[in-house]
Amino acid sequence: MIPDHKAMIERDPSHRGDQMEYMEASAFARPGAPPSTDIVALLRARAEMKPEAIAYTFLTDGETDKPDSISVSELDVRARAIAVRLSTTAEPGDRALLLYPPGPDFIAAFFGCLYAGVIAVPAYPSSRRHRDRLMAVITDASPAVIMTTAPLAERFEDESTGYALKTMAGSGGRDTPCRLCTDGISSAAAEQWHPFPVAPERLAFLQYTSGSTGDPKGVMVSHGNLMANQEAIRQSFGHNEDTLVVGWLPFYHDMGLIGNILQPLYLGSSAVLMSPMAFLEKPVRW
């Protein structure tokens, strides 16, 4: 069982020092880079500096004739609006299970969690083959809310995801998590968002292992972890703000989330993304 994340997580002070040293020598020491030590402040700074810049372009069916793009300022607005609505059903430190098809809705929901101080738990609506993994993640994370889209929520009653949720509700006296369909949230709600300080030690999300050799294990990832890791990736690959990221990995996968979604935001560049199925059907698309 993942421990209660509402309490501050105690860590080895030496690790915390390593993170801060890495960040002090990072991209944020470069002229023109936003002075941020967490992902929320980073996105807010990017939206202020280059509001019209395209953050992500998702290729529906993997083809360039059906792009779905979102600018940095649009993402910031969506994240704030989602955070406002999420705050009515979850408290800072609660967990939110993210069940989305590949696309911009997942990205907005993930940042919405960070803006609300809620710990994101990226997952994927399960098939019968992966139902046990989803049940293990739900049982371990004990999410307060399930975030998804309206079309997907309608399918939960009949599919494996719905079975997993019902099983959770019927075991150990657990409450069924409430559901929040983020695709129907009005962007006007963004004006009600109130920022709060995010310490490097605050957890950003839980990254679960595949569960191929046992029950999935939740790795606790803090904002400090993320920023240090983003700088390590930038230095290792020689990335800069002109780097265009193109990817197809699942968003709930650590490389898909950290490499394909967060790295371009960190750089101030852009990403072109497609679903794993679009790539598998026609690898030349990548």
Q: Which residues of 193-214 are buried (b: 16+ CB within 10 A; e: fewer)?
A: beeeebebebbbbbbbeeeeee
264 found inside a domain: yes
- 135: number of CA atoms within 13 Å, CB side? 17
What's the pLDDT at 101? 86
Residue with tokens 């390590």: 232
In angstroms, rounded to a whole number, what is the distance separating the alpha carbons of residues 141 and 209? 13
**pLDDT at residue 104 in the model:** 92
* Residue numbers of the domain that contains 211: 35-285
Residue 15 lies in a domain: no
* SS3 at position 121: strand
Q: Is residue 269 part of a domain?
A: yes
Local confidence pLDDT in tens for the 286 residues of the chain: 454 444 333 333 334 444 444 344 334 434 445 556 799 999 999 999 999 999 999 988 767 777 889 999 999 999 999 999 999 999 999 999 999 988 899 999 999 999 999 999 998 776 666 677 888 888 889 999 999 998 888 776 655 555 555 555 444 445 678 889 999 999 999 999 998 788 899 999 999 887 666 678 889 999 999 999 999 999 999 999 999 999 888 888 888 899 999 999 999 999 999 887 777 676 766 5
- The enclosing H or E element of 176 equals none
Output the domain CATH number for residue 94: 3.40.50.12780
Q: 147 and 121 in contact (C-beta within 8 Å)?
A: no
- pLDDT attached to residue 130: 67
The span from the CA of 39 to the CA of 157, in Å, is 35
Does 11 reside within a domain?
no
Contact status, residue 262 vs residue 247, Cβ threshold 8 Å: no
- The candidate with the shortest Cα–Cα distance to 252, out of 120, 76, 68, is 120
Q: 210 with 256: CB under 8 angstroms?
A: no
Q: What is the pLDDT of residue 213?
A: 64
pLDDT for position 193: 97
Report the C-alpha dihedral over residues 2, 119, 208, 181, rounded to 10 degrees: 120
Cβ atoms within 10 Å, residue 8: 11
The token pair at 131 is 């139902």
Query: Quick check: is 108 in a domain?
Result: yes
CA distance 136 to 235: 36
Which stretches within the chain are classed as H helix? 13-24, 39-49, 72-86, 104-116, 131-141, 150-155, 160-169, 223-237, 254, 263-267, 276-281
* Residue 119, SS3 per DSSP: strand
The strand ranges marked E within 166-279 are: 178-181, 203-208, 218-222, 244-247, 270-273
pLDDT of residue 241: 92
| Structural domain contains residue 28 | no
Q: Is residue 5 part of a domain?
A: no
CA atoms of 128 and 146, how far apart (whole Å): 19
Domains contained in the chain, number: 1
Sequence-ordered list of residues with C-beta below 8 angstroms from that of 65, at least 6 positions apart, any chain: none
Q: 272 Cβ partners below 8 Å, 6+ apart?
A: 56, 57, 59, 244, 245, 246, 247
